[in-house]
């Protein structure tokens, strides 16, 4: 039985890892701003209109994506993910208008938000939770390796001048087309976390049915391994119970708070850093020296190596991790302050790599710590909710300070704002660490 489970895990993991890796081979992404500029869009249009649409699209779709994914049992959404990727880049072929690029950003919002479908697909497909950690690590490694290849391909093409930006676009379309076809061969999922549960969770279902005064014959039939689809009221209760169970834990709530702030900062920096690179390159008359693809490759590899190394660190994060997060937040802020004040393209590249790698390390620690103290079935719910809150904050920030309802700030000031955010996080966690130390000292004296 264990051997069969192992073989099933390897087979399904292989299919998903290939999907995750090839999905990330989109060499147009590291030079997307450069491509838009070459298509005669201004930096103001890119910064304030095009990227803003992508942000809002991600927010709206994140609200419903988790439940839709669970209801349709993952695979249809994984296929739709590939289709959205095809439309995302096909809309840019030729000479795209501003409206066409805005529609493209809407498809990109779906493409970005639907990532939860294949990241939770394995959890539903592989019943044995002893493989969850392995599944998570190899899928993340595959994703990062795909991004590395994407950056390497794009930089090689741009540096050698063998092809132009439009060819990067066609390679991206080819890869998303491949993963769409590949996704069709993924095994179907017969059950899911909330809407289509199995008898392995019948105790939980019975409790929820008691709360809603609903009884079904399937629960009492030990030979029937499938449950009828849960009602929306049952799903609501399960979601509420998982939500309360996770966020009523002060340690989980604290880590989620840091995680939401860090994701917010990282996404804003990663989204708009290309605009800053373009500005600095123009200032120094070095547009031909752009190394965006190489930087993204190095950033990805360093982040992957750091995240992998964290798995071998034996440290009591629950009782002594606050000071590390205080220092880590301060270091991230320092990297961003350096980016803000620098007008050297190579310094910007160097500190972006340091910032990205440090973020990957700390976010890996945060994710693993949160996962330790929540119901395994609620991984997608909690992680998805954190992402939703982050996207909500980003959307508000975009509306107020990028599109300029209050005041429009430039790319440098966007970086400065995120540097201040990480400074505040560092101070907060330093205060928490000091308070914990004082409490521990008093206990020892008593």
Q: Mean per-residue pLDDT for 362-367?
A: 85
| Span 145-170, pLDDT tens digits | 898 999 999 999 999 888 888 899 99
Q: What is the pTM of this model?
A: 0.83
| pLDDT above 70 coverage of the chain, percent | 83
Share of the chain above pLDDT 90, in %: 40
Residue 62: CA atoms inside 13 Å, Cβ hemisphere, count?
Answer: 26
pLDDT at 4: 46
Q: Which domains does the chain have, with CATH numbers?
A: 1-190 (1.20.1250.20), 231-446 (1.20.1250)
Task: Please give the Cα distance from 31 to 291 (Å, whole number).
Answer: 9
Q: What is the mean pLDDT of residues 78-100?
A: 92
For residue 179, is pLDDT > 70?
A: yes
Tokens 């904050």 appear where?
393
Q: State yes or no: pLDDT of 309 exceeds 60.
A: yes
Asked if the model's pLDDT at residue 221 lies above 90, the reply is no
Tell me the mean pLDDT in the region 21-41. Answer: 93
Judge whether residue 377 has pLDDT over 70.
Answer: no
Please provide the average confidence, as pLDDT, over all residues in the chain: 83
Average pLDDT (431-443) is 88
Of 316, 328, 315, 322, the C-alpha closest to 438 is 322
> For 32-42, how does the pLDDT look when each residue is reduced to its tens digit (9 = 90+)?
999 999 999 99
Q: What is the mean pLDDT of residues 382-396?
A: 88
The pLDDT score that the predictor gives to residue 215 is 37
User: Which of these ranges, 172-186, 253-267, 281-295, has the smallest mean pLDDT?
Assistant: 281-295
Task: Determine the average pLDDT of the residues in 323-351.
Answer: 96
Lowest mean pLDDT segment, chosen from 148-162, 230-244, 263-277, 408-422: 230-244
Residue closest to 197 by CA, chosen among 226, 233, 156, 166: 226
pLDDT at 1 over 50: no
What DSSP state is assigned to residue 49?
A: I
Cα separation, 174 vs 25, in Å, equals 10
Average pLDDT over residues 245-257: 91
pLDDT of residue 212: 44
Q: In the prediction, which pLDDT does 202 show? A: 45
Q: At what angle do helices 317-341 and 250-283 cross, to 10 degrees?
A: 20
Looking at residue 174, what is its pLDDT? 96
Residue with the bigger pLDDT between 67 and 143: it is 143
Q: What is the reported pLDDT for 208? A: 45
For 40-72, how does the pLDDT look when each residue is reduced to its tens digit (9 = 90+)?
Answer: 999 889 988 899 898 888 888 877 676 677 777
Question: Do residues 422 and 333 lie in contact, with contact meaning Cβ atoms separated by under 8 Å?
Answer: yes
The angle that helices 202-212 and 232-247 make with each other, rounded to 10 degrees, is 110
pLDDT of amino acid 344 = 94
Categorize the per-residue pLDDT at 113 as very low, low, confident or very high, splitting at 50, 70 and 90: confident
CB 90 within 8 Å of CB 173: yes
Give the pLDDT band (50/70/90) at residue 217. Answer: very low
Say if residue 339 is exposed, middle or buried (CB neighbours under 10 Å; 0-12, 13-18, 19+): buried
Can you tell me the distance from the alpha carbon of 259 to that of 279, in angstroms, rounded to the nearest whole number?
30
């Amino acid at each position: 039985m264990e051997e069969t489970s192992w073989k099933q895990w390897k087979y399904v993991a292989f299919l998903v890892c290939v999907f995750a890796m090839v999905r990330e081979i989109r060499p147009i992404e590291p030079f997307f701003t450069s491509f838009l500029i070459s298509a005669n869009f201004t930096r103001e249009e890119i910064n304030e209109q095009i990227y803003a649409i992508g942000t809002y699209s991600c927010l709206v779709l994140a609200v419903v994506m988790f439940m839709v994914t669970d209801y349709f049992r993952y695979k249809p959404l994984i296929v739709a993910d590939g289709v959205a990727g095809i439309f995302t880049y096909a809309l840019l072929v030729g000479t795209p208008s501003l409206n066409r690029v805005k529609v493209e950003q809407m498809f990109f919002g779906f493409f970005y938000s639907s990532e939860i479908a294949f990241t939770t697909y394995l959890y539903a497909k592989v019943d044995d939770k002893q493989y969850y950690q392995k599944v998570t690590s190899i899928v993340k490694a595959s994703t990062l390796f795909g991004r590395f290849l994407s950056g390497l391909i794009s930089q090689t093409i741009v540096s050698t001048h063998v092809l132009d930006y439009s060819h990067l676009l066609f390679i991206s379309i080819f890869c998303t087309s491949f993963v769409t076809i590949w996704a069709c061969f993924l095994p179907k999922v017969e059950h899911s976390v909330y809407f289509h549960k199995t008898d392995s969770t019948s105790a939980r279902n019975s409790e929820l049915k008691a709360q809603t005064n609903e009884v079904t014959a399937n629960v009492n039939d030990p030979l029937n391994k499938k449950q009828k689809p849960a009602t929306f009221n049952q799903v609501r209760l399960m979601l509420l119970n998982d939500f309360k169970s996770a966020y009523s834990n002060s340690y989980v709530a604290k880590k989620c708070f840091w995680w939401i702030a860090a994701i917010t900062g990282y996404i804003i920096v990663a989204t708009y850093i290309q605009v800053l690179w373009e500005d600095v390159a123009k200032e120094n008359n070095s547009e031909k020296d752009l190394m965006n693809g190489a930087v993204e490759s190095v950033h990805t590899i360093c982040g992957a190596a750091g995240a992998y190394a964290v798995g071998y660190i034996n440290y009591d994060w629950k009782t002594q991790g606050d000071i590390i997060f205080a220092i880590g937040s301060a270091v991230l802020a320092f990297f961003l302050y350096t980016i803000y004040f620098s007008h050297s393209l190579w310094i910007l590249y160097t500190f972006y790599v340091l910032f990205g790698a440090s973020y990957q390390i700390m976010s890996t620690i945060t994710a693993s710590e949160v996962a330790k103290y929540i119901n395994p079935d609620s991984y997608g719910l909690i992680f998805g909710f954190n992402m939703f809150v982050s996207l909500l904050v980003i959307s508000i920030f975009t509306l107020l300070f990028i599109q300029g309802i209050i005041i429009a700030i430039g790319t440098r000031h966007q970086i400065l704002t995120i540097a201040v955010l990480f400074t505040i996080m560092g101070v907060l966690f330093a205060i928490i660490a000091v308070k914990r130390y004082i409490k521990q000292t008093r206990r020892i004296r008593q």
